[in-house]
Amino acid sequence: MAKKPKTAITPVRSDNYPEWYQQVIKAADLAENSSVRGCMVIKPWGYGIWENIRTHFDAIIKKRGVQNAYFPLLIPKSYLEKEAEHVDGFAKECAVVTHHRLEDDGAGGLKPAGELAEPFVIRPTSETIIGESFSNWVQSYRDLPLKINQWANVMRWEMRPRLFLRTSEFLWQEGHTVHATAECAATEASEMLEIYANFAENMLALPVIMGEKTPDERFPGAKHTYTIEAMMQDGKALQAGTSHDLGQNFAIASDIKFSNQDGHVVHAHTTSWGISTRLIGGIIMAHGDDDGMIVPPKVAAQQVVIIPAVHDEADREAIMEKCLGLKLVLETISFDNIMISAVIDDRDEVTSTKSWNWIKKGIPVRVEIGKREIEGNQVFFKRRDESPREKHIMPEDEFLGSIADILLSIQNNLLERAKSYRAQKMKKIDSLDEIFNYFKSEDAGFANIPHSLWDEGLSEKMKTDFSVSPRCLPIIDGELSDRLIIARSY
């Protein structure tokens, strides 16, 4: 018999963090590489998280008066050329469609035939094509503000793809708004940033730093780029969401203008903001442990797995009946306005194997139902935020009465845990020597330094010697700080 590993995932985080990350994705059955370069297949357990992110975020923006719409995947190359900085920023990572037909190549294969007069790029982001529509939709100040969102896939031909964090194709939402004044656009961009920050903390248990990007890290063509930065367990930063105040740059490029109350025709002010499937990578790296994934209850595809433990075939029917009953009742219960979803794992496997499978997937609560539970009218369960050895036994009524609190407590524990390791790996530093010293360590985290220290020379040195870049100037109580957060990043 093979020796049981102490942890479900090999290697452990402390041995090889990048490899651990990939192993967790595999063990949790979240996604896999496809045969298409740089593109991933998101499997049900991973896609379920995205569906929940989508559902909850969609509700939030709709309350703000944002409407969903859909724009084309293909963008005429010339559109992209309208905004000079935008071209520079995205040109290198665009996939280009140059032909529109395939025909027999005479050798049993197919070859592209009709060459397009003007090539299309596959959207790397949709500012330009949406701007084209907006220019028609907006005529009067009465049409503003215009708030549109689309849930879509985009494509960026990345040099080095990593599952969820940087894939050639990924899923996201991109919000695009048009405003009459610079102030309105600025407010929209700031409010969306706060919404992202709250969403990350409340739904994903992911504490983030809100801030503004320095000019060199800005979205190409933006006036201000705001970001939420999360810390992963290796101390690296992950940009988890962005909001851009585009000023009039894109309005001018796309000719979005309107008649104001004075009868003058003026260019509008626009914003755009997005979150993507990258968030799932963030969840993995923020919460996962050496036994695999830990999914925050609020975004888990299922919160509870019920595992029947049948020793004696004679008990099977009674056990299955109890499992089914439990599932039905659980699914009438909600926690923080989210309906619980439960799954019965009735695969023909040894109970412990099933249990470990679900540990690796990171389902918040595992329930095991056997003869004992039926006789004692009780529920045996374990929590993913606790050690796999820790058991709980509760009368069934009590369990059903407290499951909502249990899930909320798991959600909260994940957030507190993440906050605590972030606090440990965040350091306020005021001198150059200390900065160099700090980042000599491989597992350095975020350094909080005076913005005034950051000049071109330091930037260059930090980048080449330490792979450290500026993450953001934190925004605290609506005010831009004079400090700068720098860190290694994904």
Partner RNA sequence: CGGGGCAUAGCGCAGCCUGGUAGCGCGCUACACUGGGGGUGUAGAGGUCGUAGGUUCAAAUCCUGCUGUCCCGACCA
List binders of RNA among 212-271 (CB under 7 A).
Answer: 213, 217-220, 222, 225, 239, 242, 244
CA 254 to chain centre: 29
Contact 321, 282 (CB under 8 A): no
Binding string, residues 330-359; x marks residues near RNA by CB under 7 A: ------------------xxxxxx-xxx--
CB 90 to RNA: min, Å: 7
Token output for 252:
């001018």
Q: Rank residues 63 and 389 by Cβ distance to RNA and give the closer one.
A: 389
Rule CB under 7 A: is residue 3 a binding residue for RNA?
no
Residues 56/163/125/184 CA torsion (nearest 10 deg): 40
Of residues 146-165, those binding RNA (CB under 7 A): 154, 156, 158-162
Q: In the complex with RNA, which residue's Cβ is closer, 224 or 422?
A: 224
Candidates 320-328, 362-370, 397-405, 422-430; binding stretch for RNA (CB under 7 A): 362-370
d(CA 284, CA 60): 24
285 vs 310 by CB, closer to RNA = 310
Q: What angle do CA 437, 439, 440 make, to 5 degrees?
A: 65
The residue (of 91 and 266) whose beta carbon lies closer to RNA is: 91
Binding of RNA at residue 80 (CB under 7 A)?
A: no
166 contacts RNA (rule: CB under 7 A): yes
Q: Does 309 bind RNA (CB under 7 A)?
A: yes
Residue 321 interacting with RNA (CB under 7 A): no
Within 413-452, the residues that bind RNA by CB under 7 A are: none
Judged by beta carbon, residue 124 or residue 364, the one nearer RNA is 124
Residue 125, interface with RNA (CB under 7 A)? yes
Residue among 178, 237, 182 nearest 474 (CA): 237
**φ, ψ at 81 (rounded to 5°):** -80, -10
Q: Which is nearer to RNA, 234 or 258 (CB)?
A: 234
Judged by CB under 7 A, the chain residues 4 through 23 that form the site for RNA are 4-5, 7-8, 18-19, 22
Q: CB-wise, 23 or 338, nearer to RNA?
A: 23
Distance, in Å, from the CA atom of 110 to the CA atom of 100, rounded to the nearest integer, reads: 13
- x/- mask, RNA, residues 368-397, rule CB under 7 A, reads xxxxxx------x-x----xxxxx------
The rounded radius of gyration (Å) of the Cα atoms in the chain is 25
Query: Which of 43-51, 106-114, 260-268, 463-471 is the region at the interface with RNA (rule: CB under 7 A)?
Result: 463-471
Q: Which is nearer to RNA, 9 or 338 (CB)?
A: 9
Secondary element (H or E) of residue 137: helix 127-137
**Does 311 interact with RNA (rule: CB under 7 A)?**
yes
Contact 244, 219 (CB under 8 A): yes
Residue 164, phi-psi category: left (phi > 0), alpha (psi -120 to 50), beta (remainder): left
Q: How many residues interact with RNA (rule CB under 7 A)? A: 74
Cross-strand bridge partners of residue 96: 121
What is the nearest approach in angstroms of RNA to the Cβ of residue 184?
Answer: 21
Least Å from the CB of residue 135 to RNA: 21
User: What is the Cα–Cα distance from 198 to 289, expressed in whole angstroms?
Assistant: 24
Q: What does 313-348 look like in DSSP terms, one character per residue?
A: GGGHHHHHHHHHHHHHHHTT-EETTEE--EEE---S
Residues 280-299 contacting RNA, CB under 7 A: 291
Q: Which two tokens stand for residue 257?
A: 């203008």
d(CA 286, CA 207): 9
Query: What minimum distance in Å lies between the beta carbon of 466 and RNA?
Result: 9
**Distance separating alpha carbons of residues 97 and 93, to the nearest angstrom:** 13
Rounded least distance, CB 53 to RNA, Å: 15
| Start-to-end Cα distance in the chain | 40
